[in-house]
């Protein structure tokens, strides 16, 4: 018996030794086209682990930074994320399991889909094809038509309210649409649309009754429309245009129609923008520069009290978009290149920010020097708050990645 136990012990040791030799060590690489071939790597500049989480042909694009892409699996055990993937006749929505990386196609309707709107409670993804609004159920894959905009206007939907009964969006004139067609690049249409002062209207669309209601109109570029994540009657929008010429951020109560300015500029060329709600709906956060391209802050305005919080940032830490962790204790930024407002020399990084007194302490997570910032990375914290998800083109196509906030040992 003793000999048998000894032989069994030796066999176990040999088996363990062989198995450990087969474990692949995660390579340490510069984040680039070459590193993406490994699927998982450690960024040589930051020592944080990065993984390509969507492995399918074509371009794959995660949601815009303030649009929630996450929902739970039916058994409640896993977090899933919706993303848009290119196909031969346009694009389709897919889900990816953040634990297993398993991909499942959600939509099958032909055509290019606009909009990135997820109802995580009702388990529906909403989108437009041409002038029509649809939703597809995430589990049954059943698609339903909701609304077709009238031929006299150009309509869009961009947000879903907290009880997931109303979609929010805008109506624009055909004159404005012609400006966009003739000037497809932002550098071409941005000033032109602002200066045209054409009428835009905010609208809400009832998902169940399929009735459209126009709630506010103005001869101004109304844009960046977002419902509060907790109050179904509060809709945030902006006066779009050169940020130093507009008081940008506004809330409207969709029942009383009361309008409220969130941030009033105080000095010449001050700017505030790329606004987003905190998860509890109590605070609106935004990029604040006083004045433009000189002093940089991530600022937040409490909706009820009006109290403003400002966290200072260094020029090279400025980001196109910021986001906030699920526990609302830390922030993230997606960096930028020299052509953008901060004119930063070394800002091509994905950042994690921790508040310290009146400033943000920055940790670099991903070296983005091989990324073309014509595609904005648009970071999202994962639901567990342990990783950031971003999109990038450093491998030549648009793909989706995640990076650990915790540095590798």
Interval 80-128: pLDDT, tens: 999 999 999 899 999 999 999 999 999 999 999 999 999 999 999 999 9
Residue 98: HSE in the Cβ half-sphere, 13 Å Cα cutoff:
27
Determine phi and psi for 360, rounding to 5 degrees.
-115, 125
Spatial CB neighbours of 249, under 8 Å, sequence gap ≥ 6? 236, 238, 261, 262, 263, 272, 273, 275, 284, 286
CA nearest to 337, candidates 298, 363, 376, 365 = 376
CB burial readout 381-401, b (16+ within 10 A) else e? bbbeeebbbbbbbbbeebbbb
Give the mean pLDDT of 371-392: 98
Q: For the chain, which residues make up each domain, given as ranges? A: 60-373
User: Quick one: pLDDT at residue 186?
Assistant: 86
Percent of the chain with pLDDT strictly greater than 70? 94
Coil, strand or helix at 158: strand
The Cα 268–Cα 300 span in angstroms is: 21
Residue 192, token pair as written in the block: 């032109």
Give the mean pLDDT of 370-398: 98
Longest dimension (CA), the chain: 92
The Cα 120–Cα 76 span in angstroms is: 12
The Cα 404–Cα 26 span in angstroms is: 14
The DSSP annotation for 289-338 comes to ESSTTTSEEEEEEETTT--EEEEEE-GGG--S-EEE-TTSS-EEE----T
pLDDT in tens, 177-226: 999 999 988 888 999 999 999 999 999 999 999 999 999 999 999 999 99
Per the prediction, the chain carries an average pLDDT of 94
Write the CATH number of the domain with boundaries 60-373.
Answer: 2.130.10.10
User: Quick one: pLDDT at residue 187?
Assistant: 86
CA nearest to 375, candidates 402, 395, 405, 346 = 395
Coil, strand or helix at 362: strand
Give the mean pLDDT of 335-362: 97
CA nearest to 168, candidates 239, 97, 101, 229 = 229
pLDDT in tens, 252-268: 999 999 999 999 999 99
Place of tokens 């062989």: 18
CA nearest to 321, candidates 31, 69, 66, 83 = 66
Element containing residue 129 per DSSP (H, E): strand 124-129
Percent of the chain with pLDDT strictly greater than 90? 90
CA nearest to 141, candidates 116, 123, 120 = 123
pTM, two decimal places? 0.92
> 152: which DSSP letter?
T
- Model confidence at 23, pLDDT cuts 50, 70, 90, reads low
- Model confidence at 20, pLDDT cuts 50, 70, 90, reads very low
């Amino acid at each position: 018996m003793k000999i048998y136990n000894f032989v069994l012990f030796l066999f176990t040791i040999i088996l363990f030794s062989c198995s450990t030799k087969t474990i692949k060590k995660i390579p340490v690489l510069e984040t680039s086209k070459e590193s993406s071939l490994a699927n998982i790597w450690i960024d040589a500049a930051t020592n944080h682990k990065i993984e390509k989480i969507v492995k399918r042909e074509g371009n794959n694009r995660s949601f815009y930074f303030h649009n929630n892409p996450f929902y739970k699996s039916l058994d409640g055990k896993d977090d899933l994320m919706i993303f848009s993937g290119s196909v031969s006749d346009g694009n389709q929505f897919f889900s990816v399991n953040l634990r297993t990386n398993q991909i499942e196609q959600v939509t099958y309707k032909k055509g290019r889909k606009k909009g990135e709107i997820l109802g995580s409670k009702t388990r529906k993804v909403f989108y437009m094809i041409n002038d029509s609004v649809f939703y597809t159920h995430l589990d049954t894959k059943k698609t339903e038509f909701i609304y077709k905009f009238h031929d006299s206007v150009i309509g869009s939907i961009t947000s879903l309210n907290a009880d997931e009964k109303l979609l929010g969006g805008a109506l624009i004139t055909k004159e404005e649409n012609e400006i966009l067609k003739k000037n497809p690049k932002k550098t071409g249409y941005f000033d032109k649309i602002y200066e045209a002062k054409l009428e835009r209207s905010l609208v809400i669309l009832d998902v169940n009754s399929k009735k459209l209601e126009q709630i506010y109109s103005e001869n101004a570029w109304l844009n960046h429309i977002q419902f509060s994540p907790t109050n179904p009657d509060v809709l945030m929008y902006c006066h779009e245009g050169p940020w130093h010429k507009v008081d940008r951020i506004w809330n409207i109560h969709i029942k009383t129609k009361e309008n409220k300015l969130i941030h009033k500029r105080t000095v010449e060329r001050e700017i505030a923008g790329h606004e987003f709600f905190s998860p509890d709906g109590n605070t609106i956060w935004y990029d604040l520069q006083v004045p433009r391209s000189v002093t940089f802050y991530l600022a937040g305005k409490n909706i009820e009290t009006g109290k403003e919080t400002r966290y200072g940032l260094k020029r090279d830490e400025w980001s196109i978009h910021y986001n906030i962790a699920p526990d609302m204790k830390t922030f993230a930024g997606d960096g930028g290149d020299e052509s953008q407002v901060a004119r930063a020399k070394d800002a091509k990084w994905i950042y994690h920010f921790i508040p310290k007194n009146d400033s943000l302490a920055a940790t670099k997570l991903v070296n983005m020097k091989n990324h073309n910032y014509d595609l904005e990375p648009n970071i999202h914290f994962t639901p567990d708050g342990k990783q950031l998800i971003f999109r990038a083109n450093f491998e030549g196509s648009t793909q989706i990645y995640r990076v650990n906030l915790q540095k590798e040992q």
